[in-house]
Amino acid sequence: MKKLAIVLMMLCAVSLLAQEPAKEKNDDDSMKDCPMHAKHQKDTAVDQRGDIGMGFSHEKTGHHFLLSADGGSIEAFADSADDTDSIAEIRMHMRHIAMMFTNGDFSIPMFVHDQTPPGVPVMQSLKKDISYEYEETRLGARVRIKTQNAEALKAIQQFLKFQITEHRTGDNSTIH
């Protein structure tokens, strides 16, 4: 039932995100397509779908996507220790992500990014070779992703590098 509600929210959000391209005025008052519009619109759409898919506001929280020799991690945290609502929402989301990913279900990142992120098909096919461990942190939670399989490791790191770029976290995309 909860999955159905999430899917319905996602479908509603997609229809709300359809917008006309922005225009920019030239000196002669004519309009032209803004060259940066596609990037700005994409960033805004990812943020809006992320807020819906994750269940917490990107404006009050942050993310880190880190690569490690055996996989990596996804971490979300509230900007303030006083924001107990965001901390609880993050923890609920990350527990849910760990369970979904374990089952090969990547529907939330597919919704958030409006595409299948790189690495996902391999992560789904090798799901028995990958572990997703939920851990609470002081301001939220993380999911540690681990594998001993070289093909799965490459896919995990493709997925995490994509997340770094899409969420504009500025995280280092090298192995720690």
Query: What digits encode the pLDDT tens for the residues 49-60?
Result: 655 556 655 788
Q: What is the mean pLDDT of residues 148-175?
A: 92
Phi, psi angles (nearest 5°) of residue 55: 90, 15
Q: What is the mean pLDDT of residues 85-95?
A: 94
Phi, psi angles (nearest 5°) of residue 150: -60, -40
Give the per-residue pLDDT at 154: 98
Phi, psi angles (nearest 5°) of residue 83: -85, 70
Q: Is 132 helix (H, G, I), strand (E, B) or coil?
A: strand
Average pLDDT, the chain: 79
Give the per-residue pLDDT at 173: 87
Rounded CA gap, 125 and 116, in Å? Answer: 14
For residue 50 the two structure tokens come to 């992320």
Give the per-residue pLDDT at 7: 44
Give the per-residue pLDDT at 64: 94
Report whether pLDDT(176) > 60.
Answer: yes
Output 150 or 11, whichever has higher pLDDT.
150
- The reply to whether the predicted model has a pTM over 0.75 is no
Q: What is the mean pLDDT of residues 38-63?
A: 63
